[in-house]
Amino acid sequence: MGIFTKTVSAIRKGLARTREALFGGLSALLSGKTLSNDLIDEIEEYLIKADVGVKATNAIIDELRQAFESGEVQKGEDAIEFLKNHLKSRFKQMDRSIAKSSTPGMPTVILVAGINGAGKTTSVAKIAKSLRDEGRTVLLAAADTFRAGAVAQLEIWAQRLGVDLVKGEQGSDPAAVAYDATEAALARGVDVLLIDTAGRLHTQKNLMEQLTKIRRVVTKKIPDAPHEVLLVLDATNGQVAITYAQEFRQAIDVTGIFLAKLDGTAKGGIVLAIQDALDIPVKLVGVGETPEDVEPFDPESFIDAMFEG
């Protein structure tokens, strides 16, 4: 059973622009028209420009072309329906809930990592707020001891949300902070421990090793922890996201993706590219600046939302 029980509601809000820009455009493009090879080329361009990626786009377009040539899909409206069903079928059945400690009385540990500027700290604040609002006790660990002001940033969030925080000095060992925080979580008997780590690029080998170490010390204290390892991924990133997601998976065994900044700048196509290339489920999406702006990810409603005009 998942820990994050918030219901799917306002995902449409964040995707308003996606809908308008991508599939709104597609609807306009396809409505009332007869499908042709040229029109399929235009759909292909739409998908590429929405960051769906060359591979996933090719796969989608090939199927559509086949359906067109066999006469199965003729009208623009049929194509919309076809794409909708096809996109839904690309998402495998995966557990998209946030995992929970299975040992009664033991805290659930969520480790959050990502590249620089992806939105880790804001995402941590969002998760903390949702959990707090559900009546769970939350402890935050500020294990970003590298970036100037990172601890202070999380500290302000902790104050605003009224949750506890364990922090280290700037420049100290982040693994030590994670260790202390895990001990504190056990001692205080909190429900959830959220560990925020420093941003790092997948090309920085030593920093990736440091992340592995953070994971290791947590496991040392609580054998089945961390229960959830979330990679915060910037939705405005291009196909390079797939490369770094793979690197992070190797370093810390990522169990889910928090897709941040889905509002405004991204058409969300990267969700499809990631789904195609990786076996990591997108679990949460960030759709704004305030701590309320977080939603569980549900492929069905994501795609429905995309198509609703």
Binding-site ranges for another protein (CB under 8 A): 17, 21, 45, 48-51, 53-54, 115-119, 147-150, 152-153, 155-157, 160, 170, 201-203, 205, 234, 236-241, 243-244, 261, 263-267, 269-270, 289-290
Give the nearer residue to another protein in terms of CB position, either 263 or 295: 263
Angle between helices 150-161 and 120-133 (to 10 degrees): 20
Give the nearer residue to another protein in terms of CB position, either 95 or 289: 289
What minimum distance in Å lies between the beta carbon of 224 and another protein?
A: 32
What minimum distance in Å lies between the beta carbon of 271 and another protein?
A: 12
Give the nearer residue to another protein in terms of CB position, either 18 or 182: 18
Give the nearer residue to another protein in terms of CB position, either 6 or 147: 147
Identity of the residue numbered 144: D
- Distance CA(108)–CA(98), nearest Å, equals 10
What minimum distance in Å lies between the beta carbon of 210 and another protein?
A: 13
Helix, coil or strand: residue 188: helix
- Cβ-based neighbour number of residue 64 at 10 Å: 21
Give the nearer residue to another protein in terms of CB position, either 73 or 235: 235
- Using a 10 angstrom Cβ sphere, with 0-12 exposed, 13-18 middle and 19 or more buried, the burial of residue 214 is buried
What minimum distance in Å lies between the beta carbon of 170 and another protein?
A: 8
Which residue shows structure tokens 């990679």? Answer: 231
What minimum distance in Å lies between the beta carbon of 205 and another protein?
A: 7
CB–CB of 144/210 below 8 Å? no
Give the nearer residue to another protein in terms of CB position, either 33 or 205: 205
What minimum distance in Å lies between the beta carbon of 266 and another protein?
A: 6
Query: Long-range contacts of range 146-150, CB-CB < 8 Å, 24 or more positions apart?
Result: 146/170, 146/171, 146/174, 146/198, 147/116, 147/198, 147/199, 150/121, 150/196, 150/198
